Amino acid sequence: MAGHHDKRETREPQARERDLMKRLPAVLAAVMKVPAWKRHLGKIDPRAINTREALAALPIQRKSDLPALQKANLPFGGLMPGKTGSFGRLFMSPGPIFEPEPIGQDVWRVARAMTAAGFRRGDIVLNTFSYHLTPGAWCFDSGARSVGCAVIPAGPGNTDAQLDLIEAYRPNAYSGVPDFLKILLDAAKEKGRDASSIQKALVGGAAFPASLQKEIASRGVDAYQTYAIAECGVIAYETEAREGMVLNEDIILEVVRPGTGDPVPAGEVGEVVITVLDTHHPLIRFAVGDLTAVMAGPSPCGRTNTRIRGWMGRADQTAKVKGMFVRPEQVAEVLKRHPEIGKARLIVSRNGEADTMVLKAETRSRAGGFTQEVGETLQAVMKLKGAVEAVKPGSLPNDGKVIEDTRPVG
């Protein structure tokens, strides 16, 4: 067993929930002093936002909107309470999205993930995330040093120099994308170099399919995954239980129906929305754009926080039909006008040379005019005609898709 980072990870879930909801109003009170946040949140009483139900009534802030918001009010869209010079480092991620790093220890919340992966004081970590402009390398660098590890700031690429570093410093841990770990191990084998010192890894930033996991394990490296974003660092991380990912502390997670801010039932796939309790770098109902689902029960590793199934695809399912964009928000509007529909999926396909749409709607309604009424709403909302098919509740796949585009590519 890798052991726990601290006692907070094994708290009673009810105690953790009380702590989060107790701290939430203070964070909201702080951000309401910032004009941009005040405009976004509207007239709210922060003291009243102390339950998940109250939080779910607040508007969503989408990551996809950040580039335009920031461009209109450089650098952070007016959403950071502190002055630009009050941060430790300033980054630019693809988008572009401008990201500040608060001053402090392990501000990207990576240390818990490293502890879960078996990183310990005195370990030497080869950090191959890029140190140029983006925050990735600095996130893992600060997390490793918080745990007490020495860090080799290697960055990506230049495998010959990397192998020189490995043979000289004998790092026993790796952080970076999983693909580059395999490249290093392959290069070492091909060139007759010794990379056997690397025995554990914490990876992120790219897919880590089962085939690659098996390959890395066969090389004697025990690798664990993280689910992280540039705005707050590690959201969830894998543990020795290898059953989903455990949510990080100090983060409130919601899983909502794509195109809405409405939480889905436990276990249903939806979009990741997070609230980070940090008055210096706040995120309030921040829609990441990724899909996941909450898993039932605590992790066998002993950590009691919520478990998620990890990254399950993208929530942005916008499609172009007959020259017009159709969006998950529009599907949500149709459902809002017809509460007898529990869940729906818009199937976009081709019939000859023409685009077609069929809305499959889960419902118990047997009213004769149901499909016609919903079809009229569909046309009114999307400005496009589409067929409606009533299906049994529970018959649609649990994969988070609201719009499924089945048209051939090319």
Query: 85 and 166: one domain?
Result: yes
Report d(CA 238, CA 246) in Å as an integer.
6
The pLDDT-based confidence of 325 (bands split at 50, 70, 90) is confident
Query: 19 and 121: one domain?
Result: yes
Angstrom CA distances, 52 to 79, 156, 191, 196, stand at 23, 41, 56, 48
Angle between helices 370-382 and 328-337 (to 10 degrees): 140
Instruction: Please give the residue range of the domain that contains residue 104.
Output: 7-27+61-249+290-308
pLDDT at 64 over 80: yes
Per DSSP, the three-state class of 382 is helix
Higher pLDDT, 18 or 81: 18
Encode pLDDT of 106-136 as tens digits.
Answer: 999 999 999 999 999 999 999 999 999 999 9
Residues in the chain: 410
Please tell me the least confidently modeled range out of 41-50, 175-184, 210-219, 318-327. Answer: 318-327
Query: 243 and 346: one domain?
Result: no
Higher pLDDT, 326 or 304: 304
**What is the pLDDT at residue 192?**
98
Query: 185 and 302: one domain?
Result: yes
**What is the pLDDT at residue 1?**
47
In a domain, 392, yes or no: yes
Residues in CB range of 138: below 8 A, 6 or more apart = 89, 91, 101, 108, 131
In a domain, 54, yes or no: no
Report d(CA 95, CA 205) in Å as an integer.
16
Residue-averaged pLDDT of the chain: 94
Encode pLDDT of 43-55 as tens digits.
Answer: 999 999 999 999 9
What's the domain count of the chain? Answer: 2
The pLDDT-based confidence of 2 (bands split at 50, 70, 90) is low
Residue 150 burial class via C-beta count within 10 angstroms: exposed 0-12, middle 13-18, buried 19 and up: middle
Per DSSP, the three-state class of 286 is strand
Encode pLDDT of 254-305 as tens digits.
Answer: 999 998 999 999 999 999 999 999 998 999 999 999 999 999 999 999 999 9
pLDDT (mean) for 193-206 = 96
**What is the pLDDT at residue 410?**
54
The pLDDT-based confidence of 206 (bands split at 50, 70, 90) is confident
Provide the 10 A C-beta neighbour count for residue 81: 17
pLDDT (mean) for 303-320 = 90
Query: 223 and 127: one domain?
Result: yes
CATH assignment at residue 339: 3.30.300.30
Query: 376 and 301: one domain?
Result: no
**What is the pLDDT at residue 350?**
87
Query: 68 and 211: one domain?
Result: yes
CATH assignment at residue 238: 3.40.50.12780
| Partners of residue 347 on adjacent β-strands | 358, 404
Query: 177 and 81: one domain?
Result: yes
Query: 68 and 191: one domain?
Result: yes
In a domain, 347, yes or no: yes
Residues in CB range of 305: below 8 A, 6 or more apart = 9, 13, 16, 246, 247, 248, 249
Long-range contacts of 8-17, Cβ-Cβ distance < 8 Å, separation of 24 or more = 8/249, 9/112, 9/246, 9/249, 9/302, 9/303, 9/304, 9/305, 10/302, 10/303, 10/304, 11/304, 12/304, 13/298, 13/304, 13/305, 16/249, 16/304, 16/305
Q: What percent of the chain shows pLDDT beyond 70? A: 99
Pairing of strands 200-203, 222-229: parallel
Angle between helices 159-169 and 178-191 (to 10 degrees): 80
Long-range contacts of 260-267, Cβ-Cβ distance < 8 Å, separation of 24 or more = 260/60, 260/328, 260/329, 260/332, 261/56, 261/58, 261/59, 261/60, 261/285, 261/287, 262/56, 262/332, 263/52, 263/56, 266/294, 266/296, 267/293, 267/294, 267/295, 267/296, 267/398
Q: What percent of the chain shows pLDDT beyond 90? A: 86
